[in-house]
Amino acid sequence: MTISIAIVGAGPSGFYAAQALVDRGVDCHIDLIETLPTPYGLIRGGVAPDHQHTKRVTRTYEETAGEPQVNFYGNVEVGRDVSILELRSMYDAVILAIGMPMDRGLNLIGGYKRGVYGAAEFVGWYNGHPAYRDLDPLLEDKRVAIIGNGNVALDIGRLLVKTREEMTVTDMPDYAIDKIQNSPISDVYIFGRRGPAEAKFTNVELREIGRLADCAPIVDPDELPDEVPAGFSERDQRLRERNLATFRAFSEMDPSNKSKRLHFHFRSMPLEILGGDRVEGLRLQRTVVEDGEAMGTGRYYDVLCGTIIAAVGYRMGPLEGVPLDGRRGNVVNDGGRVEDGFFVVGWAKRGATGVISSNKPDGDQVAEIIANEITPGNRPGRPTFEEHLTSRGIRWVSFEDWRYIDEAEIAAAAEGMPRKKFVSVDEMITFLDKEESRDKS
Ligand SMILES: Cc1cc2nc3c(=O)[nH]c(=O)nc-3n(C[C@H](O)[C@H](O)[C@H](O)COP(=O)(O)OP(=O)(O)OC[C@H]3O[C@@H](n4cnc5c(N)ncnc54)[C@H](O)[C@@H]3O)c2cc1C
């Protein structure tokens, strides 16, 4: 008997879970259900558009989608088009792989002002995510502040200071390239509450900042400690030493031949967003770092800026039938198990940490439990799910449909660019319906 499995979310963790089930030889049907008509989650909508080499991991997911057991149902939002409880009544096992799509938020005084954005929306905007393409961020001042000391902050900073020429090999939509390139931005500030040794940048991404065509990194050498403080694992110690060496090299660079600057400010805790209806600046408190924690010193300083982007983490939104951990913001689980027959993988399981490959072991873990514990054939799975979608009038997008979209995007790209993305769901569905009627005629 065949086990019927629904995986909700077609990002890396959803694909890894599907592949783990296939690799274990579990006799199953796997339905990957995705809210967007396009697969791949943050690989398409989060990973920086100038890091195409990273996006190539989708080739592996394409192979998974081609496995005979696997079906893709794009343009189906769980919670709107079908509930978790309905899915659990249709499938022997349901695996949640929905990531953490929302900004954690800053909770600063003045956070409501125009010109304040979260990384999820800002990154979604420059990546052509249909939910954020209309963000139209305020980029009218030459100074932008980014809050956060992780790679997402670096991605955003880098993309705001690259030249138009540097952007010609990306798949950033034209509206975002034009908006950034036509803005007066010359100085981007990246603020971290702790010191340079505590920053979470990976060294490869950090070094890239020193190689930009028309932007110089600015670091105050007095901010740099002679060595990494004690208390890190050996691996972390090495990583941080590399970052400190990179910051030292940055502090010795001559910025005078570049027209833009990316400033790293450490030991700076944001307190208040200044201005009237729109952002005019950011007030910060100096900190000292004790045992890895930032403590306020009562000394303040202001930085003038017209835009503030908070890259301080992600969280999940509420979804009926899914227990959330109020503190960590992830799905309550025990080794990937939420309840009998109900599982979670990826960021939704562990929180918003780790690189793409960190999501793979989650799939292996859940596949093992399913292989050992789930009794097949109790629930009908795919036919009932399709009946449900049809009865609701939902136009789902198959993987073959996605291939049409993919091909059209690649064909529409300007020379040198990898693709020109569709940025609205309506556009994608209209295009697919036209292709379908062309095939029939
Ligand atoms: C801005 C950014 C840049 C990054 N850059 C890198 C990088 O360069 N290199 C690297 O290794 N890692 C990078 N990462 C991390 C990497 O993207 C994550 O580890 C990975 O995407 C997490 O996979 P996931 O499947 O758990 O979540 P996601 O990738 O978020 O996938 C979740 C999927 O579920 C879908 N979904 C959500 N809700 C529903 C619903 N209700 N119904 C149906 N579907 C739903 C979403 O549309 C999405 O497709 C980056 C992360 C971010 C935020």
pTM (2 decimals)? Answer: 0.95
Question: Which tokens hold the place of 255?
Answer: 């910025």
pLDDT at 440: 67
Q: Return the residue matching tokens 């954020």.
A: 132
Question: Which tokens hold the place of 318?
Answer: 């509420």
Distance 98 CA to ligand 1 centre (A): 8
- What is the percent of the chain with per-residue pLDDT over 70, rounded to a whole number? 99
Task: From the CA of 353, give the closest atom in ligand 1.
Answer: 19
Query: Is-contact 405 431, C-beta < 8 A?
Result: yes
pLDDT at 106: 82
Mean pLDDT of the chain: 95
Task: State the CB neighbour count (10 A cutoff) for residue 440.
Answer: 6
Protein residue whose Cα sits closest to atom 2 of ligand 1:
46
pLDDT at 265 exceeding the cut of 80: yes
Greater confidence (47 vs 292) lies with 47
Going from the C-alpha of 249 to that of each of 17, 219, 221, 245, the distances in angstroms are 42, 9, 10, 6
Ligand 1 pocket, CB under 6 A: 8-14, 33-36, 41-42, 46-47, 51, 54, 77-79, 97-99, 101, 123, 152, 155, 346-348, 354-356, 359
Band (436; pLDDT cuts 50, 70, 90) = confident
pLDDT at 12: 98
Dump pLDDT digits (tens) for 348-371. Answer: 999 999 999 999 999 999 999 999
pLDDT at 1 exceeding the cut of 90: no
pLDDT at 318 exceeding the cut of 80: yes
Dump pLDDT digits (tens) for 215-241. Answer: 999 999 999 999 888 888 888 899 999
Q: Which of 43, 47, 204 to mutate to test the pocket of ligand 1 (most atoms within 8 A of CB)?
A: 47
User: CA 137, CA 135: separation in Å to the nearest integer?
Assistant: 6
Averaged over 88-112, what is the pLDDT?
93
Task: From the CA of 357, give the closest atom in ligand 1.
Answer: 11
pLDDT at 439 exceeding the cut of 80: no
pLDDT at 207 exceeding the cut of 80: yes
User: CA 263, CA 280: separation in Å to the nearest integer?
Assistant: 18
Distance 346 CA to ligand 1 centre (A): 8
Q: Which of 7, 98, 349 to mutate to test the pocket of ligand 1 (most atoms within 8 A of CB)?
A: 98
Distance 357 CA to ligand 1 centre (A): 12
Task: From the CA of 16, give the closest atom in ligand 1.
Answer: 25
Averaged over 301-330, what is the pLDDT?
93
Going from the C-alpha of 103 to that of each of 62, 333, 352, the distances in angstroms are 29, 22, 11
Averaged over 196-221, what is the pLDDT?
96
Distance 33 CA to ligand 1 centre (A): 14
Query: Is-contact 122 134, C-beta < 8 A?
Result: no
Band (291; pLDDT cuts 50, 70, 90) = confident
Per DSSP bridges, beta strands 187-191 and 307-310 are unpaired
Averaged over 80-97, what is the pLDDT?
97
Nearest alpha-carbon partner for 84 in 319, 386, 316: 319
Band (441; pLDDT cuts 50, 70, 90) = low
